[in-house]
Amino acid sequence: MLPLLSIVLATLLAGTAATFFAGTRARWVALATSSVFAVEVAFLFLSFSGWPGYSSALVPGFSESESYAWIHISWMHVNFTVGVDGISLVLILLTAILQIATVVYSWNETKRPAGYFGLVMLTCLGCFGVFVALDILFFFLFWEAVLVPMFFLIGYWGGPNRRYAALKFFVYTHVASIVMLVGLLALVFYSGASSFDYSAVYAAGHGLSTVVQAFLFLALFFGFGVKFPIVPFHTWLPDAHVEAPTGGSVLLAGLLLKLGGYGLIRWAVFVLPAGFHVDLPVVFFVAFLSIVWGSVVSLAQRDLKRLVAFSSINHMGIVLLAIAVGSSIGLVAAVLLMFAHGIVSALLFMVSGSAHHAFGTRDISAVGGATPTTPALSTFAMAGSLASLGLPALIGFPAEFSALLATWDRLGYWVFIPLGILVVTAAFYLWMMQRMFFGPPRGIPSEAHDVPWFEGAGMGILVVFTVLFGVLPSLLVNVIVASPIKGFPGT
Amino acid sequence: MIDTSFVGPFLPEIVLLAATLLVFLLDVLGVRRLEIAGAIGVVGVGVAFFLVAADLGFSPIAGFATIPSGQINVGGPTGLYAFTSLGLVFQLIFLTAAFLVGLASLSRPTGERGASIFYGLLTLATLGMLLVAIAADLIFLLLAIELTSISTYLLVAYTRKDGRSLEAAMKFYIVGALSTTLSFFGASLLFGAYGTTNLRAIAGMGSAGVPTLVLLGYGFLIAGLAFKVTLVPFHAWAVDVYDGAPTDVSAFLAGGTKKIGLFAFFLVFLGPILAVKASGASTLPFGTGPFNVGPVLQIALAAAAVLTMTVGNVLALLQKEMKRMLAYSSISQAGYMLIGVTVGTAPAIAGATLQIFAHVLMKGGAFLVVAAVAGVGVGPLITDWRGLGTRRPLLGVAFGLMLLSLAGVPLTIGFVSKFVLFSSAVEAQGWFVWLAVAGLLNSALSVFYYARVLKVMFFDVADPMPTTVPLAAAASSARLAFGGIGVGRAAAIALVAVVIVAVGIYPQLLLGPIQSAAQHFVNVGP
């Protein structure tokens, strides 16, 4: 069997390196790399759906798994182990889609294009690595490999307050990842596992006493939660988003937040189930807090980008709620919701970026009735808003519906909190549409223009997938369940 | 018939001696061309390398799959020398350093004086290093160190013109003489206490002897050898010498000869520490039971390790000149290596050995790059390197790799060695864990000054290209190929960069054989 994941990693690595050194031709190299990556991921996805490859002997429960000895000391083995299951595969698909969309959308980047596209490539490379790594050291290595390029994307290509935002982003997420690393290492050393491999960590985690699991889970919950972001530690997100260039925002919302969700499911919920159950009240509380806070604060935003950023907090809160429900359907819903939010929030950040280009401002109240001037932008904004508020036949609907269903199963009438908040979400998106794009024209600068072709193409790619997986969510769900979710203990 | 069987194992040393004598002989005869002396030196070191590798059971396909166990050849029970597999590994490390410096120095300016002297002294110093690696007797060890030291005093001053170099050589010589005095004084006290200078015999007598005499003897030995290893507070000379010496010589001092001091630490201090472990005694010195010198040594070395890495790192942070920054970072790295001696388990010794090899590559390579960059007209300050990464991408990437490796970033050799070293301290449990913590904190601290150089090189705006480089002539001569860097130096730098990444990606290449060599060392003793 071909070492598929290593091949994908190698092509991404080569493409990233080539992009950095490609000078003014960087965008073409980036486009070629992301196209090759997309084809490879499509192949992975299609061959995965064909099933029997799913049960692989090397790492139980993971297909395409590979393992190579890296550092073998007499008492400790570190291997380079990779593999995918349904959860990681869906998120890898998201990575491929967002990478190509970002490259196309940013086609005309003129400020040091080689650096810009190289960092975009590197971010996606790191995300791919996080999703396939089945070894603590490599997981952490890729995790940090995401952080550093995003720091530079915000800090060099960002808005006027970029240095502050980049530093805040770096400090928050870096402290969180140190806590996460300490938690994972404590898990290994405390349990006496002789390897950093996922299977060893999994067995070690299950073998720990409930109290130890509870403490370790809290550490990991904090480490992954800041990336989510969970509410008391969310303040880096609006700043980072507002200052980041559009491409950076797209990757930040579309991929980086998903790292937190993925890490929580893979390395905390699955590994420390007893600790997860003990800590459930904390998780539920934080989830509800994030949902309500993110939504209410969204209502007060005048900046379109800030609005999308706060609605991200709200949506990721629903993801956390679905995880906390702890049933198989809840976990499926969480992964589906992460995928949906990845596509939709990326679309909305592109819309706000294009709105900024078109009107010279992102202030919702400054512009009105823009549809006749910018019909294409208006269409994309409508598509993004409808998908975000959960219109059936768009990707947001199956995700949110199943999340609420799972919550109903577990919590009963508590479901009316997220449900009520969904109404608020719908309200602020529709209100935004109504103010900016409908009604009589107001405050539109004379040089306003509709989206250029490349921005339209970038958003078009995302709209296609919004509709495709909205109509056929089973394409994703059938893959997602091919993971430890299938046998998850549940409530 | 005279028994000549003892000659065989000494073949590498004999080759180096022959190369040295040949270079000096040609110098006397008036043949002083750099190419000839350089070729003899580099080929001699290369041949010696392959001879040692053959002794270690190297085969082109299996690599070092079969390390011979234990002592390969012993000069008798109270012998002066012993070929251990770890000793041979160290010989390879020393020869690597000499080879890199010799290769790079082929690209020195033609008109420079003393080229043949340079290569003669280089091979002579290397000969002394090889003898250190096979020493089994305290006096033999100190004499071998002395052979290397005297050669290097001369090496620092070989240009005979540069005032800074002469001053550095003078400092180096005076400090070296002090160090030698202290070492021999310590050795004589130990001889008084134990009645032998054989290292293995001494190791077995950890609890014998008059405690005062033993402690004083070891104390003077630590101080004397600490000068060679640049442990704090015996480090101050190193920065001035590395800074003042010709940069290729600095590469050899920091990357090469400093390591003989570390192997001397292995030989002198690991014996008593290992003997304590074998006897199962307490690892803390203030417990009950008879006096034993091993735990005392562990405490002293641990303190020296933490002090050295911390002071070296903090001072490196404050430096404005590239060479001085590298010199202080070299001091701090000696602290990491000392962790291996303190912990004294097989993984720890393997980690320290790998760290020493990594340091040969990283620091030696970094000084070679500094020499290359100085050769194309860049000043000594770190800020003078502005934009070098965009102006000279390949050189910048190679130097960046060395710095990342020094900082211990994954997928470089520096990460692997630190990982093995620190995790072995964690594995040893007890208070050794704090050594790992100190090492980790210091590594985190060191990232700042390495990252600062990376930022200057890759993100700061470049100055206009210095016009002193005759770029038009660059392609015409091998010495000026690669934009004035020269073939030999470019090859040495490229070799270092490739090995740093190759071992970083596939550490088992070296880790396996080094681990078995370390295990044999633990089993057999010095």
How many angstroms separate the CA of residue B490 from the nearest CA in chain A? 21
The 3-state DSSP class for residue A320 equals helix
Whether B124 is in a domain gets the answer: yes
Residue B470: the pLDDT is: 46
- Measured CA to CA in angstroms, residue B23 lies from B27, B37, B123, B129 at distances of 6, 6, 9, 19
Nearest by Cα to A391 from A399, A458, A309: A399
Whether B128 is in a domain gets the answer: yes
Please count the helices (runs of H) and the strands (runs of E) in chain B. Answer: 21, 2
User: Nearest 5°: phi and psi at A135?
Assistant: -150, 135
pLDDT higher at B476 or A285: A285
- Of A406-415, B81-90, B212-221, B452-461, the least confident: B452-461
Q: Do B426 and A75 touch (CB under 8 A)?
A: no
Q: Is B419 in CB contact (< 8 Å) with chain A?
A: yes
Q: Do A71 and B346 touch (CB under 8 A)?
A: no
| Chain A residues in contact with B350 (beta carbon < 8 A) | 73
Banded pLDDT at B338 (limits 50, 70, 90): very high
Residue B463: the pLDDT is: 60
- Residues written for chain A: 491
Banded pLDDT at B79 (limits 50, 70, 90): confident
Per-residue pLDDT for B409 more than 70?
A: yes
The stretch A133-162 carries a mean pLDDT of 89
Which one-letter DSSP state was computed for residue A54? G
Please name the member of B393, B419, B519 whose beta carbon is closest to the beta carbon of A71: B419
The stretch B159-188 carries a mean pLDDT of 91
Residue B478: the pLDDT is: 58
ipTM of the complex model: 0.73
Cα–Cα distance for residue pair B147/B329, rounded to 1 Å: 26
Residue A45: the pLDDT is: 86
Per-residue pLDDT for B66 more than 80?
A: no
Banded pLDDT at B259 (limits 50, 70, 90): very high
The stretch A431-447 carries a mean pLDDT of 86
- Measured CA to CA in angstroms, residue B322 lies from B60, B64, B366, B367, B404 at distances of 39, 37, 10, 9, 15
Whether B100 is in a domain gets the answer: yes
Residue A50: the pLDDT is: 43
pLDDT per residue as tens digits for the range A99-116: 999 999 999 888 888 889
- Of A25-34, A448-457, B122-131, B371-380, the least confident: B371-380
Per-residue pLDDT for B424 more than 70?
A: yes
Q: Do B511 and A71 touch (CB under 8 A)?
A: yes
Three-state helix/strand/coil letters over A143-203: HHHHHHHHHHHHHHHCCCCHHHHHHHHHHHHHHHHHHHHHHHHHHHHHHCCCECEHHHHHH
Residue B472: the pLDDT is: 40
Sign of the torsion formed by the C-alpha atoms of A18, A24, A25 and A29 = positive
Residue B60: the pLDDT is: 57
Whether B364 is in a domain gets the answer: yes
Which tokens hold the place of A359? 């009107």
Banded pLDDT at B336 (limits 50, 70, 90): very high
For residue B349, give the chain A residue with the closest CA.
Answer: A73
Per-residue pLDDT for A218 more than 80?
A: yes
Whether B2 is in a domain gets the answer: no
Find the chain A residues whose C-beta atoms sit closer than 8 A to any C-beta of B.
21, 69-76, 78, 137, 141, 189
Residue B196: the pLDDT is: 85
Residue B437: the pLDDT is: 87
Q: How far apart are the first and last CA of chain A?
A: 38
Q: Do B411 and A78 touch (CB under 8 A)?
A: no
Which tokens hold the place of B109? 């300016």
Average pLDDT, chain A: 88
Banded pLDDT at A333 (limits 50, 70, 90): very high
pLDDT per residue as tens digits for the range B356-401: 999 999 999 999 999 888 888 788 898 888 888 878 888 888 999 9
Domain ranges for chain A, please list them.
Answer: 1-278, 279-491
What DSSP letter does each residue of B417-436 carry, written as one string?
HHHHHHHHHHHH-TTHHHHH
A202 near A153, Cβ under 8 Å? no
Cα–Cα distance for residue pair B22/A46, rounded to 1 Å: 69
Q: Is B416 in CB contact (< 8 Å) with chain A?
A: yes
Banded pLDDT at A261 (limits 50, 70, 90): very high
- Measured CA to CA in angstroms, residue A243 lies from A159, A164, A238, A256, A384 at distances of 4, 9, 9, 16, 21
How many independent structural domains does chain B possess? Answer: 1
Q: Which helix (H) or strand (E) holds B49?
A: helix B34-55
Per-residue pLDDT for A342 more than 60?
A: yes
pLDDT higher at B459 or B342: B342
Residue A99: the pLDDT is: 96
Average pLDDT, chain B: 85
A302 near A365, Cβ under 8 Å? yes
| Chain A residues in contact with B416 (beta carbon < 8 A) | 71
Banded pLDDT at A454 (limits 50, 70, 90): very high
Cα–Cα distance for residue pair B261/B180, rounded to 1 Å: 12
Which tokens hold the place of A61? 């429960």
Cα–Cα distance for residue pair B509/B514, rounded to 1 Å: 9
- Of A163-167, B140-144, B226-230, the least confident: A163-167
Residue B172: the pLDDT is: 94
Rg over CA atoms, chain B: 22
Residue B61: the pLDDT is: 57
Q: Do B511 and A72 touch (CB under 8 A)?
A: yes
Banded pLDDT at B451 (limits 50, 70, 90): confident
Residue B473: the pLDDT is: 42
Range of the domain at B309: 7-284+291-524
Nearest by Cα to A15 from A107, A100, A82, A132: A100
Per-residue pLDDT for A440 more than 50?
A: yes
Q: Do A71 and B508 touch (CB under 8 A)?
A: yes
How many angstroms separate the CA of residue A72 from the nearest CA in chain B? 7
Residue A446: the pLDDT is: 81
Name every residue whose Cβ is closer than 8 Å to that of residue B207 and which is 6 or more positions away in sequence: B290, B291, B292, B293
Per-residue pLDDT for B286 more than 80?
A: no
User: Facing residues of A442 across strands?
Assistant: A368
Cα–Cα distance for residue pair B110/A431, rounded to 1 Å: 78
A216 near A183, Cβ under 8 Å? yes
User: Nearest 5°: phi and psi at A370?
Assistant: -85, -10
A76-84 and A63-73 strand pairing: antiparallel
Residue with tokens 């904390």: A282
